[in-house]
Structure 1
Amino acid sequence: MENQLWKRKLLSTWRKDQQWYADKLAILRSVRSSETPPGDIQSSPTGETFKEYVVSEQTPGELQRHEILYSSVAVGIVLIVFISVGILFFLRRRKTKNADEEHAASSILVYPSQQGTAPQFLTKEIHFSLPPLRSTSLGDLTEPDDSDVDTESLLLPTVSNQRSNSFSCYGLGVIEPALYKSTLDLDEIQWPEGHIGRIWFSLRYEPSTEKLLVSLLKAKNLPSRTVGTVNSCDPFVRLHLMPDERRYLQSKQKKKTCNPYFDETLVFQVSQKDMSDHTLKLTVIDGSRTKRRSEIGHVTFPLKDLEIGDGTEQQLFKLDLEKEPQEIKSNLGELLVSLLYNENLSRLTATVIEARGLKFQGDKHEAYVRLTLNQHYRSVKEKRTGVARPSRDGAVTFTEGFNFKLAPSQVDISSLAFHVFQATSGYGRDKLIGKCVLGSYMFARGKALIQWNTAIANPMEQNQQWHILCE
């Protein structure tokens, strides 16, 4: 406040002096022009008269220099005042900021209070402690005392092998190695003669998302590509959902090992109602550097044998690799069919000749065959034979032929299914005895595939074959 009053007083004095000097300069100029001194001249604020000023021999140049000097002094004083005020404001603000930082560092901000006109903040201290280490997954660890905690005992032990990520899709948690010790430890196993390898995998099906998760763990005792060498194998696994083998998933290739660790999870999208109709096939293939791939072996697993449950638990399997698909053995009976393909008319003629060894139930032994032409997995045409009774030797003779429209471009996506039913009396539902499917590589294997390919490759030639019925 005192600084402002002093400033105002200084400015008032400076303005008065400026006005007085301006008046003197005007009078001096008028005297020189008229060469007659004025009669009555007012005195200056300091008591000087015009005559005294003339005697002092001050010139207009000297008056101008005095004006510049007084102006410079006044501006300098004003700047000094402003700089001093700015420095005081800066120091005060910095002091307040340091005090706030010290207050904030002493505790943790929790939430603002709703009481009072200004926001008030409450603080509290948070204490934490390290949890005890698990002895099951990290080995035998002694739990430290609470009074004296050793930081080195809290460090995890270094593990030489890599961490498996094959169960990452199964949610949070820790895999207990003890659960799989009896199934995954193969150091002391003696392999039989002619063994071509064994594969470990786990399955889990999620009904909510209709996803089948296949986790490839590892394979053991795969044959070496070159006789007399060790680990001359570059294996990878190809997964199919039978009967559709055009679509597949494939794992990463492992280099120069006969005992590969895959640790991969692959996902198939399959509805729950189709689970019983599909079979999972895992084929182990050796891919050499010359890009020539040779199939080592394969395993199959019918998905109808998988326990679905609530979809939270995985099931572990270990299966030996097979070179050729095993022939289906069944006591349901056999069916003799014949195929004839006319390429010019795009017509397939299927003849149901005879059935033997049918497994009937009840006293009434009568059977018929229903033929279904499928393209992809959609039914296109259905036909059926008449009802026939078995003879004394147990054979049921039909000898009926049926024609189906089949273009050459549809051969690879088509199949022909034969369902043998036992006819029931009254309003009861006919019972399915067994079935067999003939078609391309997408739908059939073994004799069924050979007969289909032979009939298509040799038009106008009849080809007949016995087929074992399956469920």
Structure 2
Amino acid sequence: MVKSHGFDMEAIGNSAQRSDRLSFGKKPSRELPGLPYAVIGGVIILGIVIAIMFYLWRRRETKGSSQVDEGDKTPRAIIKMDQPPPFIIPSLTNPEFAKEFDTTLFQRRESLQPIAFSLSDIKPVDYQPCSDKTTFTPSKFGLGKLCFSVFYDEESEQLTFFLIRAVHLPAKNMRGTADPYVKITLLPDKSRKIFTKVHRKTLNPIFNENFVFTFPPTSLKSRVIRLVVYDFDRFSRPTVIGHVMVSLGDIDFKPPRCGEEHVWRDLKEAIPSELKRGEILISLTYLPNAERLTVVLLKARELNLPASAKTDEDVRLSIKLTMVTGGRLMKTKRTAVIRKEARPEFNEAFSMELAKSNTSDTCIVAAMQYQSGSFGYPKVLGRVVVGANRYSTGDGLAHWNEMMTTPRSAVVQWHALL
């Protein structure tokens, strides 16, 4: 071991070797002197450039706004005034302002000054009641009235029927209104049927519609106009409100009247035999525990088929049953097709689910259908609506209420087709 001046030279050499091994493989770090200063300098230069650009842009905008557009040829001038002109409030008392107006039109009358007028200045026509608010005598049948006029021209052989209005119609729904329309038929010709427009939510509809019929004067006295007022229903057959039969032989068509005067007639409830379509016998049973409704379509009678179907021996009959809940179609079923008979019997039962909570918002619609042959397209002869107060009235409502008051019992009743 070599020692020099009290130092261990071997130990010093070993420590130097260890330090060399530890530093082996490491890259020496090169720090860029002055890096933060370069970043700061770049930011400052960028800010100066942005400021110069903004200044040049603002100067250009100011210069452009002060110059007159070359396309604008309107001369402009700058007026310099030592003192602004005095502001004068417009007033009728100011002579400078009032001389341009007729001050007599702007004179105000004192509230206590009396008004002088004569009775001759009052026009009674201005104080007559409006025609829409005129009171009418109620119908003795309680179904309302129809107003119309009739005119016949012998030269053109044309009858003009003018349907004006209806008043005091009975309400047909829970809202206390109706959706009336009128079907017009000139008897004895039943082939041509004319309908008016449907008037929504009113009991006093104003029609103002003209209808023209052509026939010779020789048959004028034997003609009868039949007016049937219906209440439109989206979900079932329209309900008959009443009808009026107008015999043209009772109307004076001679001058000066010529039949143009307004005629008022009461609506009658009794349906003529021509309007009867037949009847269906229906049985209803409700099981509240099982929440199930059973409808039995038993038979039909006095079916009034069209003339074409009466002569056709190959006419088939069937009944289409529909259940409506909450205004939605829930289920549809149909009986078997049977041959035409005077009193056809179906005797088919249909069971449908009906919750207790929906019994006050449900109805069933039974539509009698007829078709030519086994593969003909079925046509509706008439319908029957049996259900809650929202959908049905009269016999249909009574039948439904009796079924609900006597659960688990079959309630049988005849219903007229409408």
Instruction: Decide which structure has greater helix share.
Output: 1
Larger Rg: 1
Q: Same fold (TM over 0.5)?
A: no
Taking structure 1 as the reference length, the TM-score comes to 0.39
- Length-normalised TM-score, structure 2: 0.44
Higher relative contact order (Cα pairs below 8 Å, separated by 6+ residues): 2
